[in-house]
Chain A
Amino acid sequence: MIKEAELVEQLKSEQHKDKAFGTLMSLYKERLYWHIRHIVKSHDDTDDVLQNTFIKVYRNINHFKGDSKLFSWMYRIATNESITFINKRAKQLQVSSEEVKKLAITNLSADVYFEGKTIQLKLQKAIATLPEKQQLIFNMKYFQDLKYKEISEILEITEGGLKASYHIAVKKIEAYLTNN
């Protein structure tokens, strides 16, 4: 497997950029897809955001300084793109971004690309009650099974704070599922 530093170097060179970008997409497309999908919920919206994310990565790779890992840099772009997408949708519909998220959950029951049972829908509703940062942490840890260290790099928060947030999120979800 190609080393990250080597891949970054190739992405920055005019000669190898396109080939390296293909490799990059193959490596991260599924992980980034699921990361975005858990934020925006619908497949079509996820597709839009994922494409925008990769285009942004392609255009801005020269600005990647290497202070963090390429992986966490891309996750950050995906997270920002997803949040921007929700905010834009909220502006279009003239409602708050919380309303947009609630609407996305409501639409899940009619979504052909959601085959979850009642309990999974309930879990999504429970996640939606969490603050934005806790939602991100829960989704990344629980569904994507990312390591605390990785999440810490992506969200730029300490591992200690991250663990505490995840623990609180789990407690809140348990309470929601028990009471509803």
Chain B
Amino acid sequence: MKNKKLHHIKSTGFKIPEDYFESLESKVFSKTGQPSILSGHDSGFTVPKQYFETIEQAVISRIEDKPATKVRSLFTKKAVFYASSIAATIILLLNLSIFDKTPTFDTLTTETVEDYLIDENVSSYEIASLLLEEELETGMTLNVDDDALEAYLLEHADIETLMIE
């Protein structure tokens, strides 16, 4: 009978004060030689008067001031600087002759060619070397007006030289 009762007694009946284990270490700690500081748990830190009354408003005003996400302006000083630099470079390049088309033979005036040949001292032999023999024999025909030829010979040609040739 006694044994049967015993099986039903699961609890010891002992109880401990609430938070006893939580405070046990502090109690022991306070008796280990530094009771003046360790019993009071005063860190020595203080707070300005009214701080806790004003902190909420400070947080709220910061929340209201700041947008939820950072908005990046497209027109920052840096961006404007870079864009201006690029635009200036393009304009400069367009004004430079590097984009000029290479002149074709057809666009050259006769005067330009004439001036070039005179300035560069190109001899008749050098010009002849650029032409093929067939071109010299068959293709080269002079369609010069007789009056113009006469006028040219009167102005430039040396009669004596012509007579020798």
Measuring CB to CB, which residues of chain A are less than 8 angstroms from any residue of chain B? 18, 21-22, 25-26, 29-30, 33-34, 37-38, 41, 43, 47, 50-51, 54-55, 58-59, 108, 113-117, 119-121, 123-124, 142-143, 145, 147-148, 166-167, 170, 174, 177-178
Contact = CB atoms under 8 A, between A and B. Distances in A.
Nearest to B29: A170
Nearest to B32: A174
A116 B45 contact: yes
A120 B29 contact: no
B22 interface: yes
A113 B48 contact: yes
Interface in B43-65: 43-48, 51-52, 55-56, 58-60, 62-63
B45 A113 contact: yes
Given A117-B44, A142-B41, A33 B22 contact: no
B45 A25 contact: no
Contacts of A120: 37, 42-44
Contacts of B66: 55
A178 B37 CA distance: 13
B34 interface: yes
Contacts of B25: 166-167, 170
Given A147-B22, A174-B34, A25 B44 contact: no
Given A55-B59, A115-B44, A178-B33, 18 more contacts: A21-B60, A25-B55, A33-B52, A33-B55, A43-B48, A59-B68, A108-B44, A116-B42, A116-B44, A119-B37, A120-B37, A120-B43, A120-B44, A143-B41, A147-B22, A166-B25, A174-B33, A177-B33
10 contacts: A22-B56, A30-B52, A38-B45, A43-B51, A54-B59, A55-B62, A55-B63, A116-B45, A167-B25, A170-B29
B17 to A, nearest CB: 15
Contacts of B42: 116, 120
B55 A50 contact: yes
Interface string B60-82: 10110010100000000000000
A120 B34 CA distance: 11
A76 to B, nearest CB: 18
Contacts of B41: 142-143, 145
B109 interface: no
Chain A CB within 10 Å — which of B46, B59, B60 has the most? B59
Contacts of B47: 33, 43, 113
B44 A121 contact: yes
Contacts of B32: 174
Given A55-B63, A114-B44, A123-B37, A47 B22 contact: no
Contacts of B63: 55, 58
A123 to B, nearest CB: 6
Contacts of A167: 25
B107 interface: no
Interface string B101-117: 00000000000000000
Nearest to A120: B44
A148 B22 contact: yes
A174 B28 CA distance: 12
